[in-house]
Amino acid sequence: MVILVVNCGSSSIKYQLFNMTDESVLAKGLVERIGLEGAQLTHQPAGKEKVVLTADIKNHSIGIKMVLEALTHAEHGVLKSMQEINAIGHRVVHGAEKFADSVLITPQVMDALEECIDLAPLHNPPNILGINACAELMPKTPQVGVFDTAFHQTMPKYSFLYGLPYEAYEKYGVRRYGFHGTSHRYVSQRAGELMDEHITNLRIITCHLGNGASIAAVKHGKSVDTSMGFTPLEGLVMGTRCGEIDPAIITYLMKKEGLTPDQIDTYLNKKSGVLGLSGISSDFRDIEEAANEGNERAQLALDVFAYKVRKYIGGYVAAMGGVDAIVFTAGLGENSVSMRDKICQGLEFLGTRIDPVKNNVRGKATEISVDGAKVKIFVIPTNEELVIARDTEQICANLV
Ligand code: ADP
């Protein structure tokens, strides 16, 4: 099967075209600045030159049309016609409690997605636009939704409820949902494969450390806790997001600074995290460089980040009654040798330690703990697109 994987953001569309016979990527690319000046499509066909096309890309429909044209183009295309695409898989951010698994898109599913907009007002609308655009252009091609929240639907109630009046959950769905589920699911399964052990026998802590960052406790293949909550703002200190704070700080700062709800939202989501702490950048490469040059606040931002990750790891060991493996993934987790080392300092009591030679690795699935460690530590590059393609293939196998 040939499967197109689509990830629509508010002004972008990321895509990958898979040949599922060998799970190879035939082409991938990115539409950027939709609805803005300087919009463009960057298309990378496998084994051919990258092409960049600038155009007036007013909306997601036009963006998807350009993607399909690029995929079937006489020179830089990889397909003869769009009929060769057997199915389309979409990343959808929020499935609330309605979706615990990936689903075939139907009119009923679209209605349910509309109902989820309230919980993810920034993320779900572009996902819906992408699905509608594909349905318009390829009405006969089945589409599948794969949710960031779905993997965490196995969390027990005592783990996902906040200490708020129960009505907040019943009336408004206020609870922990968790995000990055597709990534936590993929890397925990890969860890099981690398350990040559069935996932149902393992307790794994997966650390997805990118611009957005979250940790999950995966017990016997199921997510039992995760650090992001009702929204992706909770948990770790992130690039620009504050992570967990005392909720009283919010009203305190609103009063002191005279901030509106929208302004405090921007403050916590865009101006905080390691950017706010360091005053330098949200990008860990810039912060690590500044810290190496002696900048104290940059060093402090790294210290706060690493400490918080270590605290979550400790908490999840307790939540699962032990741990067999710790996995690092996403931009920072896959690439930052020094951050992995810093996080794991002090975890010796668990019976594990990083091997500095093995840890000198970037973007490659490998074990980095010392030989014979009781708890294995891994670097595993995430591949959310492949999971979306696999789910789509499985769901559509009998339809096409
Ligand atoms: P997202 O998908 O959440 O935007 P990514 O998973 O792509 O984020 O991760 C981006 C983050 O990874 C950036 O903050 C960047 O600093 C960090 N990163 C990427 N490569 C490195 C590296 N070599 N060293 C340190 N940090 C890195």
Q: What is the pairing mode between strands 40-45 and 24-32?
A: antiparallel
Q: Does ligand 1 lie within 6 Å of residue 239's CB atom?
A: yes
**Mean pLDDT, residues 180-187 taken together:** 98
7 marked ligand binding residue: yes
Which distant-in-sequence residues (6+ apart) come within 8 Å of 150 by Cβ? 95, 99, 100, 101, 102, 181, 182
Closest by CA to 341, choosing from 356, 329, 361, is: 356
The CATH superfamily holding the domain 2-147 is ATPase, nucleotide binding domain (3.30.420.40)
pLDDT tens-digit series, residues 299-352: 999 999 999 999 999 999 999 999 999 999 999 999 999 999 999 999 999 999
367 marked ligand binding residue: no
pLDDT, residue 196, reads 97
Domain boundaries, the chain: 2-147, 198-384
Q: Is residue 148 among the annotated active site residues?
A: yes
pTM: 0.95
* DSSP assignment of 83-131: GG--EEEEEES--TTT-SS-EE--HHHHHHHHHHTTT-TTTHHHHHHHH
Ligand 1 atom closest to the CA of 362, numbered from 1: 23
Under 8 Å between Cβ of 235 and 312: yes
Asked if the domains at 2-147 and 198-384 fall in one CATH topology, the answer is: yes
Please say if the pLDDT value at position 118 is more than 90: no
Closest by CA to 154, choosing from 176, 130, 134, is: 176
pLDDT tens-digit series, residues 272-281: 999 999 999 9
Please say if the pLDDT value at position 226 is more than 90: yes
For the segment(s) 198-384, the CATH number from 1.10.132.20, 2.60.40.3080, 2.40.340.10, 3.30.420.40 is 3.30.420.40
